[in-house]
Amino acid sequence: MNLENRLRISREQFGIKVGINQFVVALAGNPNVGKSTIFNKLTGLHQHTGNWPGKTIQSAQGSFSYRGQSFLLVDLPGTYSLLAHTPEEEIARDFICFGQPDATMVVLDATCLERNLNLALQVIEITPNVMVCVNLMDEAHKKKIHIDIPVLEQELGVPVVAASARNGEGISDIRATLYRLITKECITMPRQIKYSSDVENAIQQLLPELSHLNTFSLSPRWLALRLLDSDMRFLENIISYINMGTEDSREVGYSV
């Protein structure tokens, strides 16, 4: 199976039909942070809703163009963590991990950044193609919470945009930042979380064992961490993702 087919099949499993030269952007975030508001502002009437394949959970996809480039935006269910506990969280996690989005935008609630950053850190552990949107800035302002966007950007190593999506503020910044991310005009350097020395040692022991695998879009370090989690259900999903089209599996992907 060539890479193009692999990409198509990965996405079709999630009911995503991508146009020619269209980039796929996953919209992730904790529940109630304004993901759908941003989705609606960006895509307007160019959207359709349905269900995630095999689930009764609603899905929404929509498109928009910016500087001649078409984007397909996928509004994911709210999730606190990628260590999924609910069917909604499983969908969000599986799409980010296996749906092969070209970019993921993590939306954060400016009024409770600390809790929200957990998800952002988990996502940047999986993929470097990430931007962060700190939404509800109007609410933060009312609560006299000040957020230093450039410092946050520096700390995370990915672009960060402030927004008050309900008022339409920050939407044009989001468009421009997604474009820069997709066209590689901006290169991200996501912060890698350092774990305790026991965990780091365990990772180092596992990495050589993983070196014979082509893990495609999944980083071996992230994979080692998931092995340490021992979430068997998720590990099964990871294995079937890696095994999809094994015949030319050395074509591309992470190397350890």
Ligand X SMILES: Nc1nc2c(ncn2[C@@H]2O[C@H](COP(=O)(O)OP(=O)(O)OP(=O)(O)O)[C@@H](O)[C@H]2O)c(=O)[nH]1
Select 29 or 159, whichever has its Cβ closest to Mg ion.
29
Q: How far is the CB of 48 from ligand X (least distance, A)?
A: 17
Q: Which of 13, 22, 36, 40 binds Mg ion (CB under 5 A)?
A: 36
Amino acid making up residue 26: A
Q: How far is the CB of 89 from ligand X (least distance, A)?
A: 11
Q: Which residues bind ligand X (CB under 6 A)?
A: 29, 31-37, 78, 135-136, 138-139, 164-166
- Alpha-carbon distance 151 to 145, whole Å? 15
Return the residue nearest ligand X (CB atom).
Answer: 78
- Tokens representing 170 are 């920050």
Select 86 or 246, whichever has its Cβ closest to ligand X.
86
Select 35 or 221, whichever has its Cβ closest to Mg ion.
35
Q: How far is the CB of 92 from ligand X (least distance, A)?
A: 9
Select 30 or 215, whichever has its Cβ closest to Mg ion.
30
Select 36 or 118, whichever has its Cβ closest to ligand X.
36
With beta carbons less than 8 A apart as the criterion, state whether 58 and 74 touch: no
Pairs from 168-172 (Cβ < 8 Å, separation ≥ 24)? 168/41, 169/137, 169/138, 170/133, 170/135, 170/137, 171/38, 171/41, 171/42
Integer-rounded Cα radius of gyration of the chain:
18
- 233 φ, ψ to 5°? -65, -45
- Alpha-carbon distance 229 to 32, whole Å? 28
Q: How far is the CB of 36 from Mg ion (least distance, A)?
A: 3
166 binds, among ligand X, Mg ion, none (CB under 5 to 8 A by kind): ligand X
Tell me the site size for Mg ion, rule CB under 5 A: 2
Report the 10 Å Cβ neighbour count for 111.
Answer: 20
Q: How far is the CB of 58 from Mg ion (least distance, A)?
A: 9
Amino acid making up residue 36: S
Q: How far is the CB of 16 from ligand X (least distance, A)?
A: 18
Select 31 or 208, whichever has its Cβ closest to Mg ion.
31
Count CA atoms closer than 13 A to 215's CA, side-chain side.
21
Question: Which residues here bind Mg ion, judged by CB under 5 A?
Answer: 35-36
